[in-house]
Amino acid sequence: MKLAIVQVKPRKGEFEANLAALGETFAQLAAEERPYDLIVLPEAALTGYFLEGAVYELALSAEALAQRLGETWRANAGADRAPVDIVAGFYENAEGTYYNSALYLHVDGRAQHILHVHRKLFLPTYGVFDEERFLSRGRRVDAFETRFGKMSLLVCEDVWHAIVPTIAALKGARALIVPSASPARGLDGDGELESVRRWEELLRAYASEHGVYIFYAGLAGFEGGKGMTGSSRIVGPRGETLAAAPALGACVLRGDIDFGEVDIARANLPLLGDLNAVLPDLLFDEALRAGRGQ
């Protein structure tokens, strides 16, 4: 599978301008001789992240966003181009209920088909974050079928709770796709942003524990004085960073994915299989079920 992670730096609140800029990127990707199979965009990729009350004006239904993305791909890539799958983070209006969501879309020369929509489970409302004031949270995580095998979508803070990628892997996901908008926080002793280092540690740990690929797409740019850390990356099923983008600026991160590596990684380190065997005992732990484990 040929993968492109498009690390964008959107203009806050300017959906049409951001979509036009994405069209130019689509044209560049489509001009390459070997077609892309999957293109991944960050959280809030076409509106910017810190919208507050403006989220109600800029949110779209999943169907409306799918239509616009499909039209934009065909207009810039050509209707005869090979089919492509697109993942995009967006603010969703689901009949008057608003979510921070991500959709997985299959686009061919005639139409587009939504394979899955994930609604962010954990809405940060602390520090610089204020999501739960304006949005509703999702209620489940799923692994869904694609033409490349099962995958899961998780949005930003979803990944900071270890149980979420674990559930995705237990449900059969062979890749976790993570659109994110992460502001810069702290500096470590080597001058690296602590938030970027922490993301890398988490993603590598989850990938190696569960034997999954992780495609992390980070939003870049500045919004209201807050710098978004980009740092998109591709992590292999042994926990190795296969490719990484810089923290600042728009760019395209490319990779070739061999899902046969998932089988090899899981055979060499069968932690996911062990968890499947032990999980029933954990689930029927009376103290855990009664909430007495705190």
Task: Go through the domains of the chain in sequence order and give each one's CATH number.
Answer: 2-261 (3.60.110.10)
Element (H, E) at 227: strand 226-229
**For position 282, what pLDDT does the model report?**
85
Question: What is the end-to-end Cα distance of the chain in Å, rounded?
Answer: 44
**For position 292, what pLDDT does the model report?**
53
Q: What is the pTM of this model?
A: 0.94
Query: What integer is the mean pLDDT of 135-158?
Result: 97
Look at residues 156, 195, 147, 196 and name the one whose alpha carbon lies nearest to residue 177: 156
Does 195 have pLDDT greater than 60? yes
According to DSSP, residue 281 is labeled H
Does 227 have pLDDT greater than 90? no
CA 234 to chain centre: 11
Distance (Å) of CA 169 to CA 46, 79, 142: 29, 35, 9
Contacts 24+ apart (CB under 8 A), 110-113: 110/79, 111/70, 112/66, 112/67, 112/69, 112/70, 112/73, 113/66
pLDDT in tens, 200-211: 999 999 999 999
**For position 220, what pLDDT does the model report?**
95
